[in-house]
Structure 1
Amino acid sequence: MAVLKHIAIKNVDYSAAVCYLKYQHDERHLKPLLDENGSMMLRSEFHMNGVNCNPDTFDLECEMLNDQYRKNYRYDEVKSHHYIISFDPRDKDEHHLTGEKAQTLGLEFVKNHLPGHQALVCTHTDGHNGSGNIHVHIIINSLRKLDIEPQSYTTRSIDCKAGYKHHLTKDYLKYLQQELMNLCQRENLYQVDLLSPAQHKITEAEYWLQKRGQKELEDINEQIIADGMNPMETTFQTRKQFVRNAVSEISSSAISFEDFQSQLFEKYKIHVKENRGRYSYLHPEREKYISGRSLGTNFDKDYLLNLFEANALAAEQEEKQRQTMPDYHADPIAILFIRSDLRLVVDLQNCIKAQQSRAYAQKVKISNLQQMAKTVAYIQENGFDTRENLQTTYDSITSQMHDARQKAKDTEAQIKSVNEQIHYLGQYLSTKSTYNEFLKACFKGKFRKDHADEIEKHEKAVQILKAQNPDDSLPKMKDLKLEKERLLALKAAQYDTYTYYKDYQKELRTACANVDNILGQHHIRDHTQRTEQTL
């Protein structure tokens, strides 16, 4: 998945950026690596181009532009902006992404969305600290060199004029993220929704803490193994990750905040509190609370309350289902079914193989006698005193099997409806920005013609979503996903019930057929077979 990162740089030395892009550095301390002669070493592979400047004289040209407009002199001013586009490591092998292609995409991104600036575009193929993912560095002078046409993301007239500084707003950053997503989708590269908050938010600092901790733990474990002992822990986890794992486990079954709070402390000694509409967690070895927002959206109040509500609803429905299950003590028809090894008695008169072989016929007779004896024992154990009573039980179980299957089918239809809403809600969100631009466009006819496919998808999604929601409000994605999880769990339970009745019915059908053979009542057996054919 491609991600976009932004860093504001206040360093007045533009040549430091050029040095970083061209030469190998210790990524942790950002210091150049030196060879045995004390000289800096070039990176093994990199691709560098300049936009509105020469890449070899980027630093000098930026300083000349600053002097021309007498800006970027104060120490607290942002001198340059550093954007990083990191592609998914899988794109390299699965989608044949190369350094040259990534560089081309980076140049296209700069020319289309960062116009008018002196920009240095450089692609590295070694990844951060040797991780292997291809990424593009984009460094622009904060001062704009050329006038540009007004863009959809510009909010001030000076944002289009030379001599004024790059103004990155929240809306502008969202625009850049959306354009990066569109670019990756066009090139069939891995991509996630950058505009949605992360469900599990891991900062760069935590990521490298995890890497260092795992390396240290492996070194310690090597020494423990060398001493002939087995290490107790093989995976290092940060305190934040410990909280994430604990909250994910407890919240999957908690039905209220109080239940969640007590279970979390009882099992993991983690305190949780609510403050200003947000949840915060206290790790047993920390003194400062960790906010749920810093852990990800799956650990904040809104998501967890919806999950508790879904858990409570599922528990309520499970209780209702349990109450509607037959009373195995009061109802003789619904004696708890335990599968037996009862098999059908073979009809020798219609068995061609038995008529052709006396030995096989003798074997079948012995087997029939055994099955008849088992059938008699089965009838006695289950309290079937008459053939009619056995038939009544069979008919009742068949009816309950039909009801259980119909309930499962109804739930499948609800799941299909929810899946459809998820699909069209995703379509709505992905085309929302284009549709908003269409509403603001001066020449709507031309804009619709140029973006006909996206506008049509957006309008169709709105129409279907409103048709499926009587109050004309659009559903929330997280609510739909929670509802889908609840329905999937309900469907699994309903199919378990259906399978129970199906196995029970099959055994009763075998018992009915064997009793008919014993009594010679073929008409009753034929009735049983006709009943089965109607299922």
Structure 2
Amino acid sequence: MAILKHIASKNSNYGSAIDYLKYQHDEFHLVPVLDESGNMLLREEFYLDGLNCNPETFDLECELLNQQHHKNNTYDEIKSHHYIISHDPRDNADHDLTGERAQAIGLEYAKANFPGHQALVCTHTDGNNGTGNIHTHIIINSLRKFDIEPQTYTERPIDCKAGYKHHLTKDYLKHLQKSLMDICQREGLHQVDLLSPAADKITQQEYHAQRRGQLNLDIANMELLGDGITPMHTTFETDKEKIRNAISDIAERATSFDEFQRLLKAEYGILVKDHRGRFSYLPADRQKFISARALGSNYDRDRLLRIFAENARNKERNNPHWAADDPMAILFIKSDLRLVVDLQTCVKAQQSRAYAQKVKISNLQQMARTVAYVQEHGYDSYEKLSDTTNTIQSKMAKARSDAKFTEAKLKKVNEQICYLGQYLSTKSVYGDFLKSGNKKSFRQAHAEDIAKYEEALRILKQHSPDGKFPTMKDLRAEKEQLTIQKDAQYDTYHYFKDYHRELQTVCANIDNILGTEREVQRKQQQSRKNEHSL
């Protein structure tokens, strides 16, 4: 099941690519692993070759080529393209795939599909996260070094000339995928159809977000376990994964689009619209719809409509006389605990006997689920349940406080970035002002720029009492770090918030159950007294 990944990089440091290929890295933080002396550690097994370059001087040769053609000089240009061929772990045992064989496949693939480019081809046998799958990295300079013959995937004349950029189009990507499939099939390796859309489309960003979220969740759960509390969740789900799971859950039961739309909104708070033959989804915490194509082919319109039609046929086959007003329909139990409704204060129940009967059945269901929840989580006393609720509440408050503190720091950094940009953009004008002979007339002519400079200087000095201003690069790096930290802290806060809300629901239902039992006991005692008096 070899797959192909592509990453376009704007990093001008070509040497970092060599370091990543040769030395061990912490895959989560993408930093080198150092020994006790602070030196980078070589990978235990890797195979490195160069095409149209010496692999040890790949960085220097790329920089010389860029200077020769005056390309890749600005920060927003793509400097290199990184392709990863990841083989199925089963190929190691089933088809005798070794590092040498995978390296030979990678070299053949790179020569056939990236001619004229300086390229590094490196095979690792350790796999990501210890999976053990053999994978090959192909890193090419975005600038072509030699002229090449026209290929089937080239669209423009400049795509064959030296000094021009690697141009990845949809057709080119399909060619790359088909080429990999052909090689793997020829070699007898496991392979999937790369040309078909992925059933679950996981982007690189979502993959890393899931890893970060899982780490933060594990840390939060360790605190709970240390306090003797059972965690509510052990697996982190990204926002897209939550949508996928919600769609899959509802699609198993829905028999039409209208029912699917209604249940998805009622149970998960997700809106779905059918526009131009495509489904799009909008969770409650977003303002922009997510297309089905961004989630994967399992969630597109055609597939779901087929599932709805099949569900309708199965339902008719199994229960042909079912009607919409079937009284058993009210026995449907939602996956989340809900509060027991107080019939004494429910106006609608007082007005409608049928509705009151429905609420009674629902209350019995919720009471049963509450008792099962208490037994499942080992709450053998009301005090233990109450203590756990208070503990979770304090953790929720602390998580919210931490997130707000980080948010305040992030706000200050954003302010520094804003005023540092303002300071740098008006610094030259203020310098000319200091050098001018007639400062009064110069100030009048450039009053706005000078005012902006002085305002920015004043605010930056407030943030930097020592008078040393941070660089824009440092501020942006700090902003990125604080943003990640803030998101993680808010994830922790929402986790404890959901946990606390669930425990509050359990406590309220327990209070209602105990109150009902006491009322029944009181009525029984009163009836006995009346019998004795008679």
Q: Quick check: TM above 0.5?
A: yes
Instruction: State which drifts further: 1-10 or 288-297.
Output: 288-297
Give the CA deviation at 1:109.
Answer: 0.3
Give the CA deviation at 1:314.
Answer: 4.4
Match of 1:154 in 2: 154
Instruction: State which drifts further: 116-125 or 301-310.
Output: 301-310
Deviations 1:68-108 (A, max 9, x none): 33333333332222111111222223322221111111001
- 1:35–1:185 Cα change, 3 Å: same
Match of 2:273 in 1: 273
Match of 2:420 in 1: none
Query: Given residue 150 of structure 2, which amino acid in structure 1 is its aligned partner?
Result: P
CA distance in 1, matches of 2:242, 2:167: 39
Give the CA deviation at 1:237.
Answer: 2.6
Query: Given residue 204 of structure 2, which amino acid in structure 1 is its aligned partner?
Result: E
Gaps of 5+ in 2: 323-534
- 1:97–1:274 Cα change, 3 Å: same
- 1:267–1:113 Cα change, 3 Å: same
Query: Given residue 40 of structure 1, which amino acid in structure 2 is its aligned partner?
Result: M
- Tell whether 2:112 aligns with 1:106: no
CA distance in 2, matches of 1:232, 1:71: 53
CA distance in 1, matches of 2:206, 2:92: 26
Match of 1:182 in 2: 182
Helix, strand or coil: the match of 2:126? coil
- 1:300–1:319 Cα change, 3 Å: same
CA distance in 2, matches of 1:257, 1:122: 49
Q: Percent identity?
A: 62
CA distance in 1, matches of 2:80, 2:267: 49
Match of 1:300 in 2: 300
- Tell whether 2:14 aligns with 1:14: yes
CA distance in 2, matches of 1:239, 1:78: 29
CA distance in 1, matches of 2:146, 2:161: 7
Match of 1:205 in 2: 205
- 1:57–1:218 Cα change, 3 Å: closer
CA distance in 1, matches of 2:260, 2:37: 61
Query: Given residue 7 of structure 1, which amino acid in structure 2 is its aligned partner?
Result: I
- 1:152–1:225 Cα change, 3 Å: same
Match of 1:95 in 2: 95
- Tell whether 2:290 aligns with 1:290: yes
CA distance in 2, matches of 1:9, 1:203: 16
CA distance in 2, matches of 1:164, 1:14: 18
CA distance in 1, matches of 2:176, 2:112: 10
Query: Given residue 303 of structure 1, which amino acid in structure 2 is its aligned partner?
Result: R
CA distance in 1, matches of 2:235, 2:77: 43
Match of 1:194 in 2: 194
Give the CA deviation at 1:195.
Answer: 1.1
- Tell whether 2:309 aligns with 1:309: yes
Query: Given residue 41 of structure 1, which amino acid in structure 2 is its aligned partner?
Result: L
- 1:272–1:124 Cα change, 3 Å: same
CA RMSD of aligned residues (A): 2.6
Match of 2:30 in 1: 30
Match of 1:239 in 2: 239
- 1:246–1:36 Cα change, 3 Å: same
Deviations 1:473-510 (A, max 9, x none): xxxxxxxxxxxxxxxxxxxxxxxxxxxxxxxxxxxxxx
Helix, strand or coil: the match of 2:183? helix
- 1:268–1:75 Cα change, 3 Å: closer
Query: Given residue 297 of structure 2, which amino acid in structure 1 is its aligned partner?
Result: T
Structure having the higher Rg:
1
Deviations 1:398-450 (A, max 9, x none): xxxxxxxxxxxxxxxxxxxxxxxxxxxxxxxxxxxxxxxxxxxxxxxxxxxxx
Deviations 1:252-280 (A, max 9, x none): 23221111112223333433233454323
Give the CA deviation at 1:212.
Answer: 3.6
CA distance in 2, matches of 1:311, 1:203: 31
Match of 2:258 in 1: 258
CA distance in 2, matches of 1:201, 1:132: 23
Helix, strand or coil: the match of 1:84? strand
- 1:122–1:301 Cα change, 3 Å: same
Helix, strand or coil: the match of 1:197? coil
- 1:255–1:27 Cα change, 3 Å: same
Query: Given residue 248 of structure 2, which amino acid in structure 1 is its aligned partner?
Result: S
- Tell whether 2:126 aligns with 1:132: no
Give the CA deviation at 1:200.
Answer: 1.4
Give the CA deviation at 1:169.
Answer: 1.2
Helix, strand or coil: the match of 1:16? helix
- 1:288–1:78 Cα change, 3 Å: closer
CA distance in 2, matches of 1:81, 1:239: 29
- 1:272–1:15 Cα change, 3 Å: same
Match of 1:59 in 2: 59
Helix, strand or coil: the match of 2:44? coil
Helix, strand or coil: the match of 2:150? coil
Give the CA deviation at 1:15.
Answer: 1.7
- 1:287–1:75 Cα change, 3 Å: closer
CA distance in 2, matches of 1:162, 1:286: 46
- Tell whether 2:72 aligns with 1:72: yes
CA distance in 1, matches of 2:261, 2:286: 18
Helix, strand or coil: the match of 1:82? strand
Helix, strand or coil: the match of 1:184? helix
Query: Given residue 279 of structure 2, which amino acid in structure 1 is its aligned partner?
Result: Y
